[in-house]
Structure 1
Amino acid sequence: GKTLNLNALQARIAELQRWYADQGYSLARISGPTRVSPQGVVQLLVKEGSVAGVEVQFLNKEGESTNDKGQPIKGKTKPWVVTREISIKKGDAFNRRQLEEDIKRLYGTGLFGDVKVTLRPVAGNPGEVTIVLGIVEQSTGSLSGGIGYSQSQGVFGQVQLQDNNLGGRAWDAALNVTYGQFGGLADVSFTDPWIKGDKFRTAFRTKVYLSRDVPQLLQSQNNGYFSTVSKVSSNLFNSSPTATAYSNSANGSPWFTLDGNTVAIQRTGATVSFVRPLNGGNPFKKAPWSLVVGVNAQEATPMNFGGQSMPYAVSTNNFNSSGNTQVQNVICIAYNCQNGATSNQLLGLRLAATMSTLNDPRNPISGNFLSLGTEQFVSVGQNSPTFNRMRASGSHFIPVNWLKLYKGCRPKPGQKKDCNQALAFQLSLGTNIGQLPVYEAFCLGGNNSVRGYYDCDLGVGKSFGEATIEYRFPIFSIISGEVFIDGGTTFNTQANVPGNPGGILQKAGSGSSPGAGLIVTTPVGPLRLEAATQNFTSNWRFNLGVGWKF
């Protein structure tokens, strides 16, 4: 009903043009008025700018699309591996913000060193462009090695051969071999991060492995360990727990024959799993929830370092002067060893779900992470147990700004704040129900558990609970600090583990551990050096680990 003012109209058109640009529609053009009807209706022409298609062009490290002979650069990666990460399709309106998110996803695959975007106008179709992606591939094959130390393997060496773009399909295949003082590991793994053609972005993972290590639940730092036993009398496990078990069959009955080695567990098996984000069929949607369904099949064999099967063990810290001990100190390592079992077959069906709202998966300062899982082991024979394992873990991060040691926590006017500082909480719970083999019990203590205790030195339980409160703060650009307190308990279930190894080795079953540490950011990830004490005593332990605890 107002009189048309062309100057005011042009100002409004410019305003609308800016709105389109702010929303990411950088090719949008508004012109007019193209027509003013007798009724005073003003008609404008809006061309949003559409996409004619997406093309992939491979470049060398110098950014050139041809070689010295003028031939196009051939890439290893299949073009569909690139284009499936692009949400903008043929016929869509071009949106710069949307394309930027797509490029971030391409970098997130870890396959490409650089991605150059060119918008090529389509002849004869004004406002229509073809998106040309100039791809510079990274080297995806690697051979690496190193040395380290763990309580279960002692000093060990490791070699890994890996290609994370096998066949140009973004498949990740790896061969890993680890050999140490007390054991070793060899495995071949394969991962397809996104099954081709699946709109849910489902991933497939599988691994075949052979491992041998010393189970820390049969060790203690100050109260001895379990040693291998080669034979026992037929009546040993039917005798009174407090009766004498003789170390030589000639001395009396019940008896056992001491082999004298540290117990090792050899596992041979394979795992298969599928991981699906709950994205509703939109592969580009950031879905906080994911589901995991998998199968784990393995054979577990207790043995000595010579590779001989040893289904029994005896606690070394309970011998009398004659080398005898009580019957209760001789335990079955293999499930059903009372009936002659020397190894066990484990077949597990796993269902798990994870939820993450973390702002940064590597060094979060806000958000939550939740993991829920159950694994049902089903019997496939006489020496195959049936039991269920359930675990749950949750983390919560609150951003704070308490200590301002790092200059990024004290920005000057006009400077951007750079202060990754958080108060972090973690709670973990787990329980086993059914015919639990000894070597499948939960362990408390270690670098990623209650840190003032050695691996599995706090407790061995059928159930467990752990909690941590941790304050993280930056000190320098690559160095951060942490102050924490850990706590853990087996909920008095040590005696419910067959043979009660935790009780025999006098493990506390519950305890707390305050401590502090430094974290150094390196090209291979964060390295943390920590000092923690047991239950506020003068008994300190130093840890060297990779990555944050959670």
Structure 2
Amino acid sequence: MPAPGPSAKPAAADGTFTCGELEAQGLPVGEGIPTQADLFAGLHCQPGFVCSRKELAQDIKALYASGLFERVNARVVPLKKNKFKVVFDFAEKFYPPMRNFEVEGARVLPRKVLADLKKKLAALPNETPFTMRTMALIKTSIEGWYQSRGYGLCYISHFSGMGTGSITAHVIEGRANKINVVWMNDEGQPEKTPGKVDAKFILKHCPVERGRLYNLADGRKTLQNVFALDLFDNVQILPRQNERNPGQVEVDVMVKEKPMQTADVEAEWGLAADEKNRPTLVSLVPGGTITYENRNLGGRAATVAASINTKSFLAPSDDISYRLMYQKPFIWGLSDENRTKLQATVFNARKLCGVFTPGPDGEEVPPVWVDRAGARVQLTQQFTRGSRGSLGLVAQEVGTRDETGAPCARGGRVSPMGAVVADGPPTTLGAAGRDRLAYAQAALVRDTTYLRDGATLGARDVLTVDQGLGIGTGFPFFNRATAACTRFLGLTRPWPRARLGPASLVLHGRAGAALGDLPAYDAFLLGGPYSVRGYNVGELAACRRFAEAAAELRLPVLGRTLYAFAEAGSDLGSSKEVRGNPSAYFRRAGRGSSLGGGVKLGALRVEGVRDNNAGRWHVLLHYGERF
């Protein structure tokens, strides 16, 4: 029986006192046995709060009602500054020895787990009383199986038959019974009126299924999938067990919508050094970017986005790039298991071409810019969370220009007298420095990577193919294919106490080949931060076939990731097959290797890299992942 109440006189005449500390004495310790924190979590008396004699008596009765203890007593001990420590004295309860053991409610628990548990119980000494330690052994085996598989709402609710020795463990298996979409306002409170995004569309991205055991991993995937739609500022997953039937779980997907339409203007002023090396404005007229986005066109989660970038708002025709994109998910309906998505894009962009850049000797080379304007239509199917395939058509006009914006039909270099000599390889298929072409694109991605304590593990394979259709300048018919294979291997177990992830090894291979009338500006580039580190983009080769290999060892140290790597690449002798042989013209090696190390500081990578061709070391800064 519980003790009648606290054994020390409280501080106030009305029987109240300020609780400063809770302590348990006589509580057994071991795996699966409730800890002091577990037992005290639901008590009225908590450190820092005022507690009454009545509340303390209720806490004693609640602890005794758990059936784990023969006696529960409490003592109120004075502390400094008018605070009191509540000491609970526990006496473990001993039931008759167990004669028989059964489990009820465990529909998915394998028979082998139950058989192994019964063997452990049978191995206990004869006439061993049924105590908290026996309960802990049972809970560790049964609940441990559920917990290790992510079934966080499956547990032993209580034991029966303890007075007779015929013990039954009653298991609650929490199954998803209902999945709701709950709309939230700015304060995070539920809204009565639904939002603009169709609830069926949201639920289609929820792997939680009605009738299945609720899995914490499914809850995390739901959170990731719904947030990745980029339609919501806040997403929360709240599983709730039914009070009358704990085996039924209601899952609330709580969302707060973003503004469906947004517009933004960013202004930029360029600076340049004057004759006295002082920074001055290039122009009083700013440039910048204008963007517009509608994330829920027609109420069906279709997205329209547009952006325009220019260096001068008053003279945008001199240097302007734009992008207009329309995206429609589930174009075959919400019943489509592959979630087929349509994306159409109209674009205009300018980029420095790495094919016509200097080789390792660093000689001065006039830059060649590639302008692309066109349209792309693409269908994408999502096979699993990280695996997808896409098929599309691209039609574009490509022009090559020099620094002044004039058409540039050939690459060149600067003579010793300072004059530009345009005697290099042709930049386009056409003679005027402008091409028109159409081709098909296909891609397959198999991605099984996952994070373990901050370290990326798993595998990723990527295959991309561009197929010319014989439409355009010179009727180009070509094939350009690239395959990449990356493995992230865990070498050690995580160190939870040090909050460090596992050491890992990254193995990466990449190869490509091109056939037919491939334009020079689309040749493969060897060298760069995402090819062979330690070299500039395209410094090693511009080629039609290549092979790359890389290995990187990652070690977590003091909350940072240190890594060492080695990389190598070769053009496989194919540089001479590119029109005009840019590699020979710019004196590129055609192959190279590097080694080095670095540290990751958030998204920043600080690297020391040795260019093995020249034997020089470089310190480089990069953002994002290499693989």
The alignment's TM-score, normalised by the length of structure 1, stands at 0.70
- Offset at residue 175 of structure 1 (A): 3.5
Q: How does 1:192-207 map to 2 (within 5 A)?
A: 192=328, 194-195=330-331, 196-197=333-334, 198-207=336-345
2:526 match: 444
- State the partner residue of 1:419: 501
Conservation of the 8 A alpha-carbon contact between 1:314 and 1:330: yes
Pairing 1:248-287 to 2, within 5 Å after superposition:
262-278=367-383, 286=385
Report what 2:620 is aligned to: 543
Which of these residues, 72, 77, 83, is aligned with residue 203 of structure 2?
83
- The residue that corresponds to 1:95 in the other structure is 214
Q: Is the 8 A contact 1:119 1:129 kept in 2?
A: yes
The structure showing larger relative contact order (alpha-carbon pairs under 8 Å, at least 6 residues apart) is 1
Q: Distance in 2 between matches of 1:451 and 1:470?
A: 12
Kindly state the Cα deviation for residue 292 of structure 1 after the two structures are TM-superposed: 1.8
Moved more, 93-102 or 373-382: 93-102
Matched position secondary structure for 2:450? coil
In structure 1, what is the equivalent of residue 425 of structure 2? 331
Residue number in structure 2 paired with 1:431: 513
User: d(CA) in 1 for partners of 2:217 and 2:411?
Assistant: 64
Change (3 A) 1:485 1:175: farther
Give the alignment of 1:457-476 within 5 angstroms: 457-476=539-558
Shift of 1:207: 2.3
- Does 201-210 or 132-141 show the bigger shift? 132-141
Structure 2 partner of 1:480: 561
Question: For 2:457, which of 347, 366, 376 is the aligned residue?
Answer: 366
Cα–Cα, structure 1 residues 307 and 78, in superposed 2: closer, same or farther, change >3 Å?
A: same
> SS state of the match for residue 219, structure 2?
helix
Cα deviation for residue 320 of structure 1 reads 8.1
Match of 1:308 in 2: 406
AA paired with 2:610? Answer: T
Whether the 8 Å CA contact 2:609–2:619 is kept in 1: the answer is: yes
1: distance between equivalents of 2:537 and 2:391?
29
Distance 1:63 1:333, change over 3 A: closer
Say whether the 8 Å CA contact 2:509–2:547 is kept in structure 1: yes
Once residues 297 and 389 of structure 1 are traced to their aligned partners in structure 2, the CA distance between those partners, rounded to angstroms, is 16
Please, which runs of 5 or more residues in structure 1 have no aligned partner?
Answer: 1-6, 32-44, 67-71, 150-154, 228-261, 280-285, 402-407
Equivalent-residue separation in structure 1 for 2:550 and 2:287 (angstroms): 32
Q: Quick one: which amino acid aligns to residue 373 of structure 2?
A: T
Aligned mates of 1:289, 1:480 — CA distance in 2: 27
Classify the secondary structure of the residue corresponding to 1:82: helix
Check 1:517–1:206 CA distance in 2 against 1; reply closer, same or farther (3 A cut): farther
Write the letter of the residue equivalent to 2:179: V
What is the aligned partner in structure 2 of residue 292 from structure 1? 390
Tell me, yes or no, if the aligned pair for 2:295 and 2:301 is still in contact at 8 Å.
yes
Answer yes or no: is 1:397 the counterpart of 2:501. Answer: no
Query: Is the deviation greater in 268-277 or in 359-368?
Result: 359-368
- Identity in percent: 21
- Which shows bigger deviation, 438-447 or 55-64? 55-64
Deviation sequence 1:430-478 (CA, Å, 0-9, x none): 111011211111111111111111121111111111111111222333x
Give the TM-score of the pair, scaled to structure 2. Answer: 0.62
Aligned position for 2:570: 489
Pair member with larger Rg: 2
> Within 2, Cα distance between the matches of 1:536 and 1:371?
29
**Structure 2 unmatched ranges of 5 or more:** 1-97, 110-138, 159-169, 271-281, 313-317
Aligned CA distance change for structure 1 residues 81 and 504 (closer, same or farther; 3 Å): same
Instruction: Tell me if the contact between 2:376 and 2:394 (Cα under 8 Å) persists in the aligned partners.
Output: yes
Give CA-to-partner distance per residue, 1:478-514, whole Å, 9 cap, x none: x322211221111121211111111011011111111
Q: Could you list the per-position Cα deviations for residues 237-256 of structure 1 after superposition, in whole angstroms to 9, with x for gaps in the alignment? A: xxxxxxxxxxxxxxxxxxxx
Please, what is the CA RMSD of the aligned residues?
4.5
Structure 1 residues 87 and 164: alpha-carbon distance in aligned structure 2, compared to 1, 3 A threshold: farther
For 2:104, what is the secondary structure of its paired residue? Answer: helix
CA displacement at 1:429 relative to structure 2: 0.6
Distance across 2 between alignment mates of 1:28 and 1:410? 28
Structure-1 separation of matches of 2:450 and 2:438: 37
Farther off after superposition, 353-362 or 443-452: 353-362
Indicate conservation of the 8 Å contact 2:437/2:472, yes or no.
no
**Counterpart residue type for residue 462 of structure 1:** R
2:151 maps to 1:65: no
Closer, same or farther: CA 470–143 of 1 in aligned 2, 3 Å? farther
Quick one: distance in 2 between partners of 1:179 and 1:517?
36
For this pair of structures, how many residues does the alignment match?
462
1:511 alignment counterpart: 592
For residues 516 and 143 of structure 1, do their structure 2 counterparts lie closer, same or farther at Cα, with a shift above 3 Å needed? farther
Structure-1 residue corresponding to 2:32: none
1:49-60 → structure 2 map (5 Å cutoff): 53-60=178-185
* 3-state secondary structure, aligned to 1:366: strand
- Aligned counterparts of 1:437 and 1:114: Cα–Cα separation in 2: 46
Secondary structure at 1:360 match in 2: strand
Specify the alignment match of 1:69 in structure 2: none
Q: Secondary structure at the match of 2:521?
A: helix
Confirm or deny that 1:187 pairs with 2:300: no
Cα 1:471–1:145 change in 2 (3 A) is farther
Contact 2:604/2:623 (8 A) holds in 1: yes
The answer to whether the Cα contact below 8 Å between 1:115 and 1:136 also exists between their aligned partners in 2 is no
CA contact (8 A) 1:87 1:98 kept: no
Residues 202 and 275, structure 1, Cα contact 8 Å, conserved in 2: yes
Q: Distance in 1 between matches of 2:617 and 2:442?
A: 39
Aligned amino acid, residue 392 of structure 1: A
Structure 2 residue 608 is matched with structure 1 residue 531: yes
CA contact (8 A) 2:463 2:483 kept: yes
- 1:110-136 CA-partner distances (Å, limit 9, x unpaired): 53524253659699x997776544333
CA–CA distance in 2 between the matches of 1:335 and 1:361? 49
The C-alpha deviation readout for 1:190-214, integer Å capped at 9, x for no partner, is: 4445544222122333322111222
Relative to structure 1, the CA distance from residue 452 to residue 373 in structure 2 (aligned partners, 3 Å threshold; closer, same or farther) is same
